[in-house]
Structure 1
Amino acid sequence: MTTAREHHSVSVAAAVVDDAGRLLVIRRRDNGRWEPPGGVLEMTESITEGVVREVREETGLTIEPVRLTGVYKNMVLGVVAIMFQGRVVGGSIATSDETARVEWWTPEEVATGMDPAYAIRMLDAVRENAEPAVRAHDGVNLLPNGSPL
């Protein structure tokens, strides 16, 4: 019999950037952590449809994915996260059943206010002229082999 850890899960998330260079962040209701908006990709949707849906569900905002910025693997849970940079094209900020807070943070606030495994996703997304990052983490911290290729 196969256990849950023998299968991967795919998630999608976005580093949504405003005109001032700030990043959209959420505080999750279930664990209180600050993270980029995102979640599990559904079987019947495309990757970009999933990231648009997840951001809308968690923040009230409709985004347009601009570019792929990285792929990240939680080595403990087997979750592969696909990260995009995005821009707002509609909606208004609102919390949800999943989000206790939705805020705009500077890159400096992201670097100090999020666990490293999530902060790096946001910071990779705003690096200029950067190729997509490929990193691994344990759910909180980056792993030594998790640096950009």
Structure 2
Amino acid sequence: MSVAGVIIDDAERALLIKRRDNGHWEPPGGVVEPGETITDALVREVLEETGIKISPDAALTGVYKNMVGLIVSMVFRCEAINGVPTTGEETRALRWVTREEVAGMADEAYAIRVLDAMDHRTPPAVRAHDGVRLV
């Protein structure tokens, strides 16, 4: 299982990271470690990949299954409580993006996660993809 956090700023932009390993633009996130709660993993992953500490009271905005990689990811809309966006070991670049910019930067399977978080849907979205496109 993995988690991802979509941090939204006051201008309604989302923070995306450009991953060092594959060069893709995505919301920050990663695998929930054994013995770690979902919330703890979310806070840790976002901090590691962005330098931003988020509130642990993030709102679930979607659940996404990679049908090829067999990974389920939970995505949360997050509020930054302190820190400055900073690249790190796993992050090549960071960028605040509008909803119009998301689709041009991220694969469909990741862009929809950001858009769902920006829309803050209730109930949360439940979607499947092949690693790149929705299925």
Q: TM-score, normalised by structure 1?
A: 0.87
Quote the Cα distance in structure 2 between the aligned partners of 1:126 and 1:59: 18
Structure number with bigger Rg: 1
Aligned 1:115-126 pairs, distance under 5 A: 115-126=107-118
Aligned 1:1-149 pairs, distance under 5 A: 10-64=1-55, 65-143=57-135
Which digits, 9 at most, give the CA deviation of each residue in 1:6-39, with x for residues without a partner? xxxx000011100000001000001100000000
Alpha-carbon RMSD across the aligned residues, in angstroms, is: 1.0
2:116 alignment partner, SS class: helix
Alignment gaps of 5+ in structure 2: none
Runs of 4+ in 1 over 4 A off after TM superposition: none
Quote the Cα distance in structure 2 between the aligned partners of 1:34 and 1:56: 17
Q: Which has the higher contact order (CA 8 A, sep 6+)?
A: 2
Per the alignment, do residues 128 and 97 of structure 1 end up closer, same or farther by CA in structure 2, a change over 3 Å counting? closer
Q: CA deviation at 1:104?
A: 0.6
Aligned length: 134
Q: TM-score, normalised by structure 2?
A: 0.96
Q: CA deviation at 1:129?
A: 4.8
Quote the Cα distance in structure 2 between the aligned partners of 1:28 and 1:84: 19
Which digits, 9 at most, give the CA deviation of each residue in 1:88-130, with x for residues without a partner? 0011111111110011111111122110000000001111553
The answer (yes or no) to whether the contact 2:61–2:120 under 8 Å persists in 1 is no
Alignment gaps of 5+ in structure 1: 1-9, 144-149
